Amino acid sequence: MRRKLLLGNWKMNKTPSEALEFCNAAKEMGLAKLARANKVDMGVCVPAVDLQVVKKSLKNSLIVGAENCHWLDHGAYTGEVSIPMLKELNIGWCLIGHSERREYDNETSEKCNLKIKALLANGLVPVYCCGESEATYDAGNTKSFVEEQIIAGFKDLSEEEAAKVVIAYEPIWAIGTGKNASEEIAEDICGFIRKVLKKLYGAKVANKIRILYGGSVKPASVKGYLSQKDIDGALVGGASLDVNSYKQLLTAIL
């Protein structure tokens, strides 16, 4: 049985002081305890400048993840964050290939593959994002597009490595737009992703991998998504910025 996973993505939001306010409020309302009691994994992926304060505050009560990393340990890559830097802060998770990074920062699936391999080699959990544009969706090419992203991102991963990756399906046309894919659309694509994984690694491995849905997820809609057979959780943007909203997301799926 795959554990449910609720993961926030703060994007370029919250100064360190604002991040600390969120953490203090989360502790006061017992968010981590509530999640653990109901066997839900829960956490936030935060900007690099917030990582230290959030990890120090939350310790190991909630997942704390980075929003990006480089695949090399060091070098002349101004502005990048290395995996050893994350490890020294005891960060255990990292988003890879979010659509905004693909669009604005030339994040290709091939680069994502390098990052996934490096994260796994260092014992971190990659959360690999995939998803199609509205034009691709309207053209009926979603499945072929997403399949290419999965195949490229998982290239040369062993069965053992693949089982440790989390996948987040986020249709780009539903991110920050107020639109959201119906439960049926989300399940259809997440189920298709699992079929692709079965072709690559077999049913045993494919059934271990957690697949999240993301895209304008709100407290009112999250339960419907997580009730689907192949959707194991949610990657949440705006609704994870307010601690009360984030708690509502959790209580909605219990």
Calculate mean pLDDT across residues 23-39: 97
Main-chain phi, psi angles of 68, to 5 degrees: -170, 165
| Exposed/middle/buried for residue 25 (C-beta within 10 Å: 0-12, 13-18, 19+) | middle
How many C-beta atoms lie closer than 10 Å to residue 187's C-beta? 20
| Exposed/middle/buried for residue 116 (C-beta within 10 Å: 0-12, 13-18, 19+) | buried
Q: How many domains does the chain have?
A: 1
In whole angstroms, give the CA distance from residue 108 to residue 241.
27
Helix or strand or coil: residue 95? strand
Structure tokens belonging to residue 231? 């959707």
| Exposed/middle/buried for residue 174 (C-beta within 10 Å: 0-12, 13-18, 19+) | buried
Residue 181 is part of a domain; what is its CATH number?
Answer: 3.20.20.70
Residues assigned a catalytic role: 98, 170
CB 173 within 8 A of CB 133: yes
In the structure, what pLDDT confidence band is assigned to residue 69 with cuts at 50, 70 and 90?
very high
In the structure, what pLDDT confidence band is assigned to residue 183 with cuts at 50, 70 and 90?
very high
pLDDT tens digits along 122-166: 999 999 999 999 999 999 999 999 999 999 999 999 999 999 999
pLDDT tens digits along 187-216: 999 999 999 999 999 999 999 999 999 988
3-state secondary structure 41-57: EEEEEECHHHHHHHHHH
Helix or strand or coil: residue 129? strand
Range of the domain at 208: 4-253
Does the pLDDT at position 28 exceed 90? yes
How many C-beta atoms lie closer than 10 Å to residue 84's C-beta? 12
Main-chain phi, psi angles of 60, to 5 degrees: -110, 20
On average, the pLDDT of the chain sits at: 96
pTM as predicted: 0.97
